Structures are given as structure tokens and as C-alpha cells.
Amino acid sequence: MAAPVVSSVSPNQGPAAGGTTVTVTGTSFTGATAVRFGSKPATSFSVNSSTQITAVSPSGTGTVNVTVTTTQGTSTQTATFTYVTASAPSLSSLSPNQGPVSGGTAVTLTGTNLSGATAVGFDGVAATSFTVNSATQITAVAPAHAAGAAAVTVTTPGGTSNSLVFTYLTAPSVTGLIPTQGPISGGTTVTLTGTNLSGATAVGFDGVAATSFTVNSATQITAVAPAHAAGAAAVTVTTPGGTSNPDDPQAYFFYAASPSLAAVAPASGTTAGGTTVTLTGGDLLGATAVRFDSVAATSFTVDSATRITAVTPPHAAGAAAVTVTTLGGTSNPVGYVYLAPPTLISLVPDQGPTHAGTVITLTGTNLTVTTEVRFDATPASFTVVSPTQVTAVAPAGTDGPVSVTATTPAGTTNALTYTRLPAPGV
């Protein structure tokens, strides 16, 4: 058998500390008993075939010849390996310098002598992955880690760098909202309580960014709700520590649809108030106010999502806009007319026969919407002539005086006397 021959080594350089895995190529390697880098034996080696050996370089300096020894002798060819003395790496900054305990944060490490990095560690835990972008920059993905500070280092053939602190943060949580509902138009100022809220970068309502927000403390944020469709919205907070749980039942904000009004009945009543009216519409549940212009109803009851019963407050004569307010906002207005109470000034004629048929002119005020004319308890047919005049046909009755009144939605007039005269004797 022939003596071994070394034709090449790859790689042909490595750190002075040793540890480089080198592939030695040549012939007659079977049964190799030694591989040397200069005078030093390889830390370890494996004979892969008669033409290839894998060896781990020992520590050393300068350029040395790599030789293989078998029972047939030692190689004599020149196949050099150069020990490179690399400068130790150093770190100057991390960006960002904090992230969630679950890991996954892409961190940019800036420093010097970062080429050839073999490891990036977070408190000794290997980065999930890393890329050497240049001699001054590495991008690494933070591994999972307990909450708190972690020392970040870079290792190269030149050694291990100084450490910089990366802070692992616990994810925020939202434990309460006040108020818990508001209009679909948004604009509600909501106070969020929870934990680990410092440094919040976003507040979301079903993924829609809050119109604005302020971090008051580690346990409180004030946010303005954005517009949103009617229904429940999960409120979340995002910090460098992650995003709060969107499924937490204490973190739901309910958007209420705006109420609407279709009608008010009756549509008119006295200026003195006290008229019971029925308002019909939609989304009336949870009503907090019923107003006639800006005057609150004397009282109101929410009967259903489509009906409210309210008692009118006093108001000057004329039209009033009726609105309903809920947490969803204020409804469109519907008209209600306040009427001044009617009065009677005169009856012409003020007497007549006991039989029916005498046409009487009633003069007074606020008679436009007269609904009834009575002679004592007996209703009479009538015609509204003007706001100050009504004509009525006197009903039959016994002789003597009777009280005549007119009624409108604003009330009943004072009574005037009409006298039925007996028929003359024969």
C-alpha cells in the first residue's frame, strides 16, 4: 500500500481557538492513525473513505501544514491551514429592546465584528433564527423566555460579545370597560382597566383602531370608540408584550343602534302638559330620556323596543320636536303640537225652542281643533268656522237653562248658558 497523499483542505482557515470542521481530501487514507495541524493532532477525526477525512482543528497560530498518517507513513505534500485571529464582536444597540414572553420578535442587533457569527443568545437560549446582514448588523428572532430582562450576546470565531438587555414582557389583559356600550357612530369615551397596559401601541374594537387613546397607568387606558356596526365588539390592547385576549367576556363593548321615531299619538295636547302620549319607532330599549324640544317628559315608560309611553311636560303653545335618547344616540324628531286651552265668550242666539235645529254661533278662542260641543251632557253636531268661531245645532231638550261647552285636545272651555224656552200657550 502507498503512503497517504493530501491534496486539499476545506475550509483552509479558521479561528485560533480551533474547533473548525475541516474536510481533508487526498488518497490512501484507509486506516489513518493521525491527522495533524502542524505539530498538533486534530481534536478529532473520522475517515469517511480512502479519499476523504473529516477533522476538527485544534487551537493554533499562523499557517500550518495538514498531514495524515497511516501505517504506510505520513503525507509530505503541502496543504496548509491558516489560523485567523478574529476581533471579538461587540454590541451597541438592540431594536426593539423588548417583546412578548412568547418570543417571535424580530430584533436588529447593531455592533461591530459581527461577521461569521455562529450564535445569538438570549440569556443563553439560542435565538429561534438569525441572519448576519453585515459586519455591523444581525437580525435575530427572539426565543420564548420568562418575563424579565435577558442578556443578548453574539458569538463569532473572535469570541462572545458584551451583553445588552432585551426585556420580555407579559401580555396585557383587559378586565373591565366603563361604559360597556355606546352608539354605532362612535365617539364614546371608554375607560379600560386591566394589567400590563404600559407602553400600549394600539387599542382595537373588533380590530378597528380606537379614534384615540391615552395610557393613564399600567392598569388603565382611556380610549374613544370608533364607529362600528350594531352588536358586540371585542376590545383589545396591544403592547410590546403582545395583544390581550379578544375572547375575554369582560372586554366586550356593545354598539347600540340609533333609536328612531315614526309617530306620536295623540299628536297634540294642552300647554299645561300632562297628556299621555304613545311614541312608536325602533331601537327604543334602554331609553334614557324623552324630550319635547329640550324639555324632559314629566315621566316615561319603555314598553318595548318599538313603543314608549310618555307624559308631556308644560310647554308654550306651538310645535315641539319630540326625541328619544338611548345609549345608541338621539332619534330623529317627530312633531307634537301644544295647544292653548279653548275659551267661550258668547253664544248667539243664547236661547231657543226645546226642539232641535237652532243653529248657534259659539265665539271664543283656540277653537280650531274642536272635537266636541255639548249641551249639558248631550253632544251637538258642529262646524269649525275659524279659530274663534264654531257653529253648532242645538239638540232637543226640556225647557230651561243648559251649559254649553266646546272641547279640543287642549281641554274643555268654560261653560256658557243656553236657555230652552217652552212653546207659547194657545
Residues 35 and 57 in one domain: yes
426 lies in some domain: no
In the chain, how many domains are there? 5
Q: Which residue in 158, 138, 142 sits closest to 150, CA to CA?
A: 142
Cα radius of gyration (the chain): 48
pLDDT at 426: 60
pLDDT at 86: 76
pLDDT at 94: 98
Q: Which amino acid is at 24?
A: V
413 lies in some domain: yes
* Last residue of one domain, picked from the residues 84, 110, 132: 84
Interacting residues of 355 by C-beta distance below 8 A, sequence separation 6+: 396
Residues 305 and 349 in one domain: no
> 192-222, pLDDT tens digit by residue?
999 999 999 999 999 999 999 999 999 999 9
232 lies in some domain: yes
pLDDT at 16: 87
Query: Domain range spanning residue 357?
Result: 343-421
Please state, in angstroms and rounded to a whole number, the distance separating the CA atoms of residues 95 and 164.
11
Please state, in angstroms and rounded to a whole number, the distance separating the CA atoms of residues 152 and 164.
5
Residues 264 and 234 in one domain: no
231 lies in some domain: yes
> 64-107, pLDDT tens digit by residue?
999 999 999 999 999 999 998 878 899 999 999 999 999 999 99
Residues 181 and 223 in one domain: yes
Pairing of the two strands 129-134 and 63-70: unpaired
Query: 99 — phi, psi (to 5°)?
Result: -175, 175
Grid coordinates belonging to 81: 491551514
Q: Classify 54 as helix, strand or coil.
A: strand
148 lies in some domain: yes
pLDDT at 352: 96
SS (H, E, C) 126-184: ECCEEEEEECCEEEEECCCCCCEEEEEEEEECCEECCCEEEEEECCCEEEEEECCEEEC
Residues 110 and 49 in one domain: no
Residues 364 and 416 in one domain: yes
pLDDT at 252: 96
332 lies in some domain: yes
Q: Which residue in 216, 56, 239 sits closest to 147, CA to CA?
A: 239
Residues 203 and 241 in one domain: yes
* Last residue of one domain, picked from the residues 169, 196, 216: 169
Residues 79 and 130 in one domain: no
Residues 161 and 235 in one domain: no
Q: Classify 340 as helix, strand or coil.
A: coil
142 lies in some domain: yes
In the block, residue with C-alpha cell 428572532: 141
Interacting residues of 26 by C-beta distance below 8 A, sequence separation 6+: 4, 5, 6, 7, 8, 51, 68, 75, 77, 79
* Last residue of one domain, picked from the residues 84, 108, 132: 84
Altogether, the residues listed in the chain come to a count of: 426
Residues 350 and 312 in one domain: no
245 lies in some domain: yes
Beta carbons of 395 and 380 less than 8 angstroms apart: yes
Q: Which residue in 337, 262, 340, 259 sits closest to 293, CA to CA?
A: 337
Ordered alpha helix ranges (H), 226-308: none
The answer to pTM > 0.85 is no
Residues 266 and 252 in one domain: no
Grid coordinates belonging to 396: 232637543
Residues 96 and 59 in one domain: no
**pLDDT per 10-residue tile (average), the chain, 426 residues:** 94 89 97 97 98 97 97 95 89 96 97 94 97 97 96 91 96 96 94 96 97 98 96 95 91 94 96 96 95 98 97 96 94 96 97 96 97 98 98 97 96 97 80
CATH number of domain containing 246:
2.60.40.10
Run of H or E including 49 = strand 44-49
